[in-house]
């Protein structure tokens, strides 16, 4: 299956967003209050994959040399300014055929980092992407009116605001021995995007970085909240177990994904 280039995706996505934003009217179907802003949540595979003790075919942590080594997408989430968020806003089930031309890019930049199927609003359990579309994507109306536009634009926002590149250029590289000042990491992102991110940690390891955007995808500050991170944090490096290794030792499992 041929994948679209980042440049092609970006051109298409910008056109889609410009057209769709023109229809914003302040209310959603069924009386649902319209969201205020988007949060792009990015996962650090090195932190999450360190918790992988057994492999399965759906887990990108198990791809050996092809396991992700940069931030991957968790989701694009419509949020409210009061710290709450809408979810499961329309009874529209995920249809993987709608994003068939994006699958190569999604597998690389928006993979699941867990085993097992994800919970969904209407489909029961299914793909990680089904969870993100049904829970969050359906709440992004009127900016997005369909599944394809939601995934396409999320990919392009991810490409445009390349957190991995920004941090690497600032000297924050994966390491299992070094610790970095949290304030320096936040400042590197602020200086590049002119907006303050939110950083989520698991103990002292960075687990997620969230970038926030207005509905036209111009950066804005994320809401101030008590951080889960200490003053010095790490970006753990990860060496995949590899699928072949797991297959030979019989350690394949099917676990529910916590999202």
Query: Catalytic: which of 74, 131, 147, 208?
Result: 74
In a domain? residue 182: yes
Residue 55 pLDDT: 86
Query: Catalytic: which of 34, 131, 132, 147?
Result: 132
pLDDT at residue 205 tops 90: yes
Residue 31 pLDDT: 62
Contacts of 194 (CB under 8 A, 6+ apart): 219
Active site residue 136: yes
Q: How far apart are CA 212 and CA 151, in angstroms?
A: 17
Q: How far apart are CA 41 and CA 75, in angstroms?
A: 5
Q: Average pLDDT, whole number, for the chain?
A: 85
In a domain? residue 13: no
Q: How many beta carbons lie within 10 A of that of residue 37, not counting itself? A: 17
Active site residue 34: no
Domain of 132 in residue numbering reads as 35-249
Instruction: Categorise residue 78: left if φ over 0, alpha if ψ from -120 to 50, beta otherwise.
Output: beta
Q: Can you tell me the mean pLDDT for 217-224?
A: 95
Instruction: Please state which of the ranges 159-168, 204-213, 218-227, 242-251 shows the lowest mean pLDDT.
Output: 242-251
pLDDT at residue 201 tops 70: yes
In a domain? residue 14: no
Q: How far apart are CA 105 and CA 80, in angstroms?
A: 29
Note the Cα 115 to chain centre separation in Å: 17
In a domain? residue 122: yes
| Ordered alpha helix ranges (H), the chain | 6-21, 45-49, 103-109, 128-135, 147-160, 163-169, 182-193, 243-249
In a domain? residue 8: no
Active site residue 147: no
pLDDT at residue 58 tops 80: yes
Percent of the chain clearing pLDDT 90 (strictly above): 69
The pLDDT tens digits of the residues spanning 93-102 come to 999 999 999 9
Using the 8-state DSSP alphabet, how is residue 80 labeled? Answer: -
In a domain? residue 254: no
In a domain? residue 52: yes
Query: Catalytic: which of 34, 134, 136, 207?
Result: 136
Q: How far apart are CA 122 and CA 119, in angstroms?
A: 9
Nearest alpha-carbon partner for 259 in 73, 38, 98, 34: 73
Domain total in the chain:
1
The pLDDT tens digits of the residues spanning 2-47 come to 445 544 544 444 444 433 433 333 445 556 789 999 999 999 999 9
Concatenated DSSP letters of 217-259: --EEPPPP---SS-SEEB--------HHHHHHHT---------
Q: How far apart are CA 248 and CA 183, in angstroms?
A: 44
Burial letters 82-98, b for 16+ CB under 10 A, else e: eeeebeebbebbbeeee
CATH of the domain at 213: 3.90.730.10
Q: Can you tell me the mean pLDDT for 103-117?
A: 95
In a domain? residue 9: no
The pLDDT tens digits of the residues spanning 121-158 come to 987 889 999 999 999 999 999 999 999 999 999 999 99
Instruction: Please state which of the ranges 78-82, 104-108, 151-155, 253-257 shows the lowest mean pLDDT.
Output: 253-257
């Amino acid at each position: 299956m041929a994948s679209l280039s980042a440049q092609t995706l970006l051109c298409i996505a910008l056109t889609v967003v410009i057209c769709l934003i023109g229809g914003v009217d302040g209310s959603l179907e069924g009386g649902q209050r319209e969201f205020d802003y988007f949060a792009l949540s990015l996962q650090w595979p090195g932190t999450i994959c360190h918790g992988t003790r057994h492999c399965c075919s759906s887990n990108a942590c198990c791809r050996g040399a092809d396991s992700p080594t940069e931030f991957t997408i968790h989701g694009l989430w419509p949020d409210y300014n009061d710290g709450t968020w809408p979810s499961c806003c329309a009874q529209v089930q995920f249809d993987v055929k709608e994003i068939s031309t994006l699958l190569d890019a999604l597998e690389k930049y928006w993979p699941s980092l867990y085993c097992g199927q994800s919970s969904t609003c209407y489909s029961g359990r299914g793909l990680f992407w089904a969870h993100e579309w049904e829970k969050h994507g359906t709440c992004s109306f009127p900016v997005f009116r369909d599944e394809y536009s939601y995934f396409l634009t999320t990919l392009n926002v991810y490409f445009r605001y390349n957190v991995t590149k920004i941090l690497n250029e600032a000297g924050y590289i994966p390491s299992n021995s070094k610790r970095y000042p949290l304030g320096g990491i936040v400042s590197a992102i602020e200086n590049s995007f002119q907006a303050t991110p939110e950083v989520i940690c698991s103990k002292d390891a960075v687990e997620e970085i969230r970038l926030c955007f207005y509905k036209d995808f111009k950066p804005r500050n994320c809401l101030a909240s008590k951080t889960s991170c200490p003053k010095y944090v790490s970006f753990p490096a990860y060496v995949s177990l590899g699928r072949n290794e797991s297959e030979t030792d019989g350690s394949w499992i099917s676990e529910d994904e916590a999202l």
